[in-house]
């Protein structure tokens, strides 16, 4: 299973997924109320201590999440140097850096299943409009199963075309691929229904709705 | 929503994910390579319609959020939702919904021209209308600056809208997933 989770037993790993997400959400809102470089630098140091010191994550794990935004942050800072001043630029860059690192920390220390459980929990209020939280989990599980399946089908069509001497994937190949996987999804849903996926009782949902 | 609809939603979430694994394609004459992921957004709306298409992209974002690295370039996790370009991510479910809604409007006479209109409005106008202000808000940039930055992606998006439209029209002919409006009223 492809995932960004790094196994471990540190207090950060053991903290409940819901708590970690709540802290992250709080940071997301709170940091924008802070515009002092010292405070932001302090929070950044705190996140780094938690990640590298307490959770003992390899530096590469955090860096992998920062690398894609690195150029953007540099451009952002350069822009502020020209238009406003270095302090404003540092605040904007630090804020984003802290958020990206904190999010990477949560992702690296929390199992996918625990986060899916939080998603299901968050979906509970949706029961009022007829959504069954368990089916939210089911859709995510199906998506995770479909990803390697779709990739496999795509690779098969690419190989078949390469065998016939085609250099690159033609648009025409996408249509049969889509139809093949749509059929597959249909078959899977029938199999699920045959195993009773459709008659899970929900307290507030009317039958036949998800 | 029936299990079949859930399976279609999951399928298109997975398709968008797989498109993220496709390496960016450099196109001659374009300053930036085009990534295939927004092609999946357009296809989800065009093939599944408004509700299921929008949901497929919400599920995709949930999968990214729980830490599966399926955004183009192998990114994932919660960090991508707070970056300066996160607005483009948030725009995807809305874009798929709008494309699906426009597609359903003209479903009976769904031609390449209609498909193009739906994909251009939903896949480009909606995406930029959400993504550009978000970048300027998060990065303290003036609107014009982030709009200029986004311009580089327009040619690639035009190519993708055309490709998605051709595919959507062909899929409708062979395996229509959206039902005709009269039958939709009774469908669960």
Domain regions of chain B by residue span: 3-184
* Position B170 pLDDT exceeds 80: yes
Distances (CA, A) of A137 to A4, A73, A77, B21, B117: 19, 35, 41, 23, 35
Q: Which two tokens stand for residue B62?
A: 């949930």
* Position B83 pLDDT exceeds 80: no
For B3-184, CATH gives: 1.10.1760.20
What pLDDT score was predicted for residue A202? 47
Q: Would you call A20 an interface residue with chain B, using a CB distance cutoff of 8 Å? A: no
Max Cα-Cα span within chain B: 49
Please state, in angstroms and rounded to a whole number, the distance separating the CA atoms of residues A67 and A78.
Answer: 17
* Binary contact (B2, A175; C-beta < 8 A): no
Q: Would you call B187 an interface residue with chain A, using a CB distance cutoff of 8 Å? A: no
| Shortest Cα distance, chain A CAs vs residue B141, angstroms | 8
What number is the average pLDDT over the span B111-124? Answer: 94
Convert the pLDDT of each residue in B7-37 to its tens digit.
999 999 999 988 887 766 665 555 555 678 8
From B58, which residue of chain A is nearest by alpha-carbon distance? A140
Which of residues 126 through 165 in chain B touch A, CB cutoff 8 A?
Answer: 138-142, 145, 163
End-to-end CA distance of chain A: give it in Å, rounded.
Answer: 27
* Binary contact (A171, B67; C-beta < 8 A): no
B187 pLDDT band (50/70/90 cuts)?
very low
Q: Is the complex ipTM more than 0.90?
A: no
Q: Would you call A62 an interface residue with chain B, using a CB distance cutoff of 8 Å? A: no
Residue A145: other Cβ atoms inside 10 A: 13
Q: What is the length of chain A? A: 210
Cα B121 to its chain centre, rounded Å, is 11
> Between the ranges A157-161, B77-81, B98-102, where is the mean pLDDT highest?
B98-102
Going by the DSSP 8-state scheme, the letter that residue A55 receives in this structure is: S
| Chain A residues lying within 8 Å of B175, measured CB to CB | 178-179, 182-183
From A122, which residue of chain B is nearest by alpha-carbon distance? B62
| Chain B interface mutation, best of A143, A206, A207, highest count of B Cβ atoms under 10 Å | A143
* Contact residues for A25 (Cβ-Cβ < 8 A; gap 6+): none
* Binary contact (A185, B4; C-beta < 8 A): yes
Q: Which two tokens stand for residue B46?
A: 């065009």
From A143, which residue of chain B is nearest by alpha-carbon distance? B10
B71 pLDDT band (50/70/90 cuts)?
confident
What pLDDT score was predicted for residue B20? 81
What pLDDT score was predicted for residue B11? 95
* Binary contact (A2, B68; C-beta < 8 A): yes
Contact between A8 and A56 under an 8 Å Cβ cutoff? The reply is yes
* Position B183 pLDDT exceeds 60: no
Lowest mean pLDDT of B27-31, B112-116, B123-127, name the range.
B27-31
Going by the DSSP 8-state scheme, the letter that residue B71 receives in this structure is: B
| Chain B interface mutation, best of A2, A178, A206, A210, highest count of B Cβ atoms under 10 Å | A178
Q: Rg for chain A (alpha carbons), in Å?
A: 23
- Residue showing tokens 């998006």: B157
What pLDDT score was predicted for residue A3? 67
Contact between B153 and B35 under an 8 Å Cβ cutoff? The reply is no
Contact between A146 and B10 under an 8 Å Cβ cutoff? The reply is yes
- Three-state DSSP at A68 gives helix
- Three-state DSSP at B34 gives strand
* Contact residues for A158 (Cβ-Cβ < 8 A; gap 6+): A169, A173
What pLDDT score was predicted for residue B23? 66
**What number of C-beta contacts closer than 8 Å exist between A and B?**
188
What pLDDT score was predicted for residue B26? 61
What pLDDT score was predicted for residue B172? 92
Q: Would you call B3 an interface residue with chain A, using a CB distance cutoff of 8 Å? A: yes
| Chain B residues lying within 8 Å of A5, measured CB to CB | 67
- The CA-CA-CA angle for residues A143, A145, A151, to 5°, reads 95
What pLDDT score was predicted for residue B14? 93
From B162, which residue of chain A is nearest by alpha-carbon distance? A171
pTM above 0.95, yes or no: no
| Chain B residues lying within 8 Å of A116, measured CB to CB | 66
Segments in chain A below pLDDT 70: 1-3, 68, 166-171, 198-210
Convert the pLDDT of each residue in A52-65 to its tens digit.
999 999 998 888 77
Q: Give the relative orientation of helices B86-105 and B112-120 as an angle to the nearest 10 degrees.
A: 150
Q: Would you call A35 an interface residue with chain B, using a CB distance cutoff of 8 Å? A: no
Q: What are phi and psi of B68, to 5 degrees?
A: -95, 120
* Binary contact (B2, A198; C-beta < 8 A): yes
Positive/negative CA dihedral, B4, B6, B12, B14: negative
- The CA-CA-CA angle for residues B127, B159, A167, to 5°, reads 135
Q: Kindly list the domain boundaries of chain A, sorted by start residue.
A: 11-121, 131-199
Please state, in angstroms and rounded to a whole number, the distance separating the CA atoms of residues A4 and B67.
Answer: 5
Quick one: which of B133, B102, B97 has its CA closest to B115?
Answer: B102
Distances (CA, A) of B44 to B8, B32, B101, B115, B119: 9, 24, 11, 13, 11
Quick one: which of A203, A207, A197, A208 has its CA closest to A128?
Answer: A203
Selected residue with higher pLDDT from A27 and B57: B57
From A172, which residue of chain B is nearest by alpha-carbon distance? B167
Q: Which two tokens stand for residue B49?
A: 């319609």
Contact between A76 and B139 under an 8 Å Cβ cutoff? The reply is yes
Contact between A96 and B66 under an 8 Å Cβ cutoff? The reply is no
Please state, in angstroms and rounded to a whole number, the distance separating the CA atoms of residues B16 and B61.
Answer: 10
What pLDDT score was predicted for residue B103? 95
What pLDDT score was predicted for residue A1? 45
What number is the average pLDDT over the span B117-145? Answer: 89
| Chain A residues lying within 8 Å of B80, measured CB to CB | 103
């Amino acid at each position: 299973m492809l995932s960004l989770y790094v196994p471990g037993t540190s207090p950060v790993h053991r903290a409940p997924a819901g708590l970690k997400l709540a802290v992250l959400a709080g940071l997301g809102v709170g940091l924008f109320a802070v515009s002092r470089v010292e405070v932001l630098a302090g929070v950044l140091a705190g996140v780094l201590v938690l990640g590298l010191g307490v959770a003992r994550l390899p530096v590469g794990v955090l860096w992998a999440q920062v690398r894609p935004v690195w150029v953007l942050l540099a451009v952002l800072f350069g822009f502020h140097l020209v238009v406003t001043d270095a302090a404003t630029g540092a605040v904007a860059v630090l804020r984003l850096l802290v958020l990206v690192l904190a999010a990477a920390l949560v992702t690296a220390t929390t199992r996918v299943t625990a986060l899916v459980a939080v998603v299901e929990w968050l979906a509970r209020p949706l029961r009022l409009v007829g959504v069954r939280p368990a089916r939210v989990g089911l859709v995510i599980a199906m998506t995770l199963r479909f990803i390697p399946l779709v990739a496999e089908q795509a690779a098969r069509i690419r190989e078949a075309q390469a065998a016939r001497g085609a250099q690159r994937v033609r648009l025409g190949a996408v249509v049969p691929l889509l139809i093949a996987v749509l059929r597959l999804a249909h078959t899977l849903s029938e199999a699920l229904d045959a195993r009773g996926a459709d008659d899970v009782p929900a307290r507030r949902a009317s039958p036949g709705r998800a | 929503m029936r299990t079949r609809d859930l399976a279609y939603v999951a399928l298109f979430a997975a398709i968008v994910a797989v498109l993220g694994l496709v390496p960016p394609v450099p196109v001659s004459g374009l300053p930036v390579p085009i990534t295939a992921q927004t092609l999946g957004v357009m296809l989800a709306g065009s093939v599944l319609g408004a509700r299921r298409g929008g949901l497929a992209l919400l599920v995709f974002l949930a999968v990214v959020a729980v830490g599966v690295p399926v955004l183009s370039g192998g990114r994932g996790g919660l960090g991508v939702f707070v970056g300066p370009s996160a607005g483009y991510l948030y725009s995807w479910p809305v874009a798929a919904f709008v494309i699906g809604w426009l597609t359903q409007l003209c479903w009976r006479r769904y031609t390449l021209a209609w498909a193009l209109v739906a994909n251009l409005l939903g896949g480009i106008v909606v995406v930029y209308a959400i993504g550009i202000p978000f970048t300027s808000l998060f990065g303290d940039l003036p609107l014009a600056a982030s709009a200029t930055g986004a311009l580089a992606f327009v040619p690639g998006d035009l190519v993708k809208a055309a490709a998605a439209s051709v595919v959507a029209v062909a899929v409708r002919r062979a395996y229509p997933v959206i039902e005709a409006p009269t039958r939709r009223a009774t469908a669960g």
